[in-house]
Structures are given as C-alpha cells and as structure tokens.
Chain A
Amino acid sequence: MTDDDIKALVLRELGKIAPEVNPDEIDPGLDLREQVDLDSMDILNLAIAIHQATGIDIPEADYPQMVSLDGCVAYLRSRIKQASAS
C-alpha cells in the first residue's frame, strides 16, 4: 500500500461519514476532527473501516497519532510496515 493508497482509503471512509465534505478542502496537516466535525462515534467508525480495509487494529491509545490526514498516513504506513516485517 502506497501513501496515496492510504490517503485515498482514509478520504473514502471520511466521505462516507461526512458526505458533505469536499476532500480537496481538507488540510492534511490540520486536525480532522475540527475540519470535518467528527465525534467519537465517527472516529470509532473510521477506525473500524480502516481495520476492515487493512486488517490493522488501531488501539485507542494510538488515536492521537491519527489526528490529521498526514498523521493517519504516517501512522498506517508504519503499522503496515510492521505487519509485513513480522
């Protein structure tokens, strides 16, 4: 999975949660919760969708690393690398 694939995945799932948001307007460096108005149920649904697409189970303790779109990509990249190394 490339960074672009990961980004596309996250944006696709965000689109399902918040259909009114234009993905082009999301600033990848800023807090997604504020930009897209996500609540804890939305974040859980995003984590579940990512889990279903990639098999990666994101522990709650790691949520802070995934606050921005860039953060999501970096975090998932490292988790995917870990998973393929082990």
Chain B
Amino acid sequence: MINFIIKRLLLTIPTIFGVIFIVMLTIELVPGDPVELMLGEHATKEAVEDVRAALGLDKPLLTRYLMYLKNLTKGDMGRSIRENRLVSKEISDVWPATLKLTMAAMIIAILVGVTSGIFSAIKPNSYFDGTNRIISLFGLSMPVFWVGLVMIVVFAYWLRLLPIGGTGSFKHIVLPAVTLSLPSIAMISRMTRSSLLEVLKEDYVRTARAKGVSEKVVILKHALKNALIPIVTMSGLQLGQLMGGAILTETVFAWPGLGRLMVRAIFARDYILLQGTVLVFALAFVLINLIVDISYSFLDPRVSYK
C-alpha cells in the first residue's frame, strides 16, 4: 500500500513538468504580450523593452522553461509578472477560500445527492423519483452564472436573508456553496439511484430480506455499502470539477478564490502566475484521484494495491 502511494506520488512529477510546459507553450502561442498588456495603451516602446529585459522575457522559451523548473525544485515559484509578488504568496492568500468553498459545496452535494438518490432508488418511478429527476435535470443544465444571479436576486435582494457575496461570516458561504453544488448534487443523486437499484437486484439483498433484516438495515448496510464504489468515483471527479467550476461562482459571488486569480493571470498573459495556479490545480487533481483509489480498498476488500 505504502509503495503504491509513493509510486503514484512520484508519477506526479513528470505529469507536472508536462503540465507546466503545455501552459508555457499555450501562453507563448496565444497572441498578446504580457508586458504590453501590463503597461497598457500608454506605454512607450522603450518602457516595454526595459521591463521585458528585467523580467527575462527576452530569453527563448526553452531557457525560461528550464529556469522555471530549476527554481521550482528549490521551492521557488517565482514572482508574478504584473504584481511583482511571490506566486506562493498570491496562492496562499486565496487558496483557503477556494478550499472552503469547494469543501462546503462537496458536503452539500454528497449529503443531498446521496440521500435523494437513496429515496429515489427505494421507490423507483414514484412521485419523489420523478420530481428528483426533474430537479436533477435542472441542476445539471442551468448555467452556474445564471443560477447564481437568480439566487442573489431571491435571497439577497427580495428576502434580504443573505449577503450578495464576499466573505466574513458563515452566511457568506451559503449562496456560493449551494449554487456550486447544484450540478454535483444532480450527478451524485443520479449515480446513487442507478448504482443502488443495481445492487438491490442482487441475491444477497433478497437473502437479507428473506432472513428478516429490517428494510433500513438492508438498504444502508447491505446495499449501500456495495453501491458505494461508483458513487465515490463520481464524487472524486465532482470534487475536481467543483474546483474548476468555482471560477464562475467565485466571480458572481465575489468570492476571493483561486479561480479568479487564474482568470486574471490568463488575461494578463502572466505565465508565471498561471503556472503556479495550474500547478496547484494539477496537484489537487492528482491527490483527489489517489485518495479515491485508496478508498476503494477500504470499501471493497477484494481491491488491494501491491
């Protein structure tokens, strides 16, 4: 098990080197110059050259790539081009906010998604199941941006229950977390329903019922545990999605997270800052996948890593 984890962690290194190279190449190929954009319409030619030289942007792509990797091995992510700030500092400023929002949305998604999925599976094609299906379809197909604005109008403007955005108290996280969780609730709910229905057809469920085990125990202990693997896989994928999808939610609700930092970096062609943020996202994805894989062996004793 430990060997498996170490091997997986070591594999992330080439992944990350590749990710950085792709980011760098993309920024290089996209028209638009970071220094010209930074100094704006009003910069002179000399000023642009001056800054470009000071930032080392006049060097070829490969040199810059190797330089970046070299510094990275020393734990130095460089300084952002526009803000001239340590990238590690920029990220540590906003990372907790993203983590908080993603986790809150994930908890809501799992609680609501799994519960509604179970109820749908217990009585398939009932009124509840039908309603759940319609709500899920709605949650999946409505753009986050629009749902967010509707939430603001209803809960912040009409009802005056919650703030329109920003951070500070528990109240501030409610709207963004709920908005962000909607598509995931739908996915997890549908997955739980179908996976559980599948399991409920198994012989051992019939056996359990035949020997007189209560329905509650049958569902929660016998069936659900065996239905969990696809649900966990789906949740892991959703967690990654939530982090990426948070960009729009962060914008609508003025949530100071990593997504907005990344978008700013893209528009500024600030490849150093962008690499830093992509690096964090990539690492998070790798870690989530690893955790999901490890959890399989706990859920199903037949799965083992040697």
A and B assemble together: no
**Residues of A with Cβ closer than 8 Å to B?**
none
